[in-house]
Amino acid sequence: MSTHREPPPDDRHYPVRKTEAQWQAELDPMQYRVARQAATERAFSGKYWDHYAPGQYLCVGCGTVLFEARTKFDAGCGWPSYWAAVDGEVVERVPDASHGMRRVEVRCRRCGSHLGHVFDDGPAPSGERFCINSASLTFAPDTP
């Protein structure tokens, strides 16, 4: 597991703001390390990497719906992968030059929680692959 940033230095531009003590009380240790410190869970270790039930994936920090199960695909990378977020307004894209790489970090636009990264090697129709940590997500199954 790697960490490349501390909690967002200025959460004032996110609508959902909590103290670090509140984040730590609400999230389990892995969720906190990933969502608030931008750590990465080990590949093939998260609870959603091979999960394909119908429903929606929500931000662990604030409950915002981020991804639909219908956009999930097996990228073979060991993390949940989606070809699109529910819309362009729910995620924030942040340049990330950590670990000697140029990537695009994905954060929840409402609370600033680190979700993972987005790459341009995904399937049609978007051509994008949102590579997301399970620890950053909760799941809400479709109800009949």
In whole angstroms, what separates CA 112 from the centre of its chain?
A: 10
* Rounded-to-integer distance, Cα 133 and Cα 81, Å: 9
DSSP-assigned letters across all residues of 90-144: SEEEEEE-GGG--EEEEEETTT--EEEEEES---TTT--EEEE-GGGEEEEEPP-
> Which residues are identified as catalytic?
131
> Considering only CA atoms, which of 54, 65, 37, 50 is closest in space to residue 137?
65
Partners of 106 in beta bridges: 93, 116
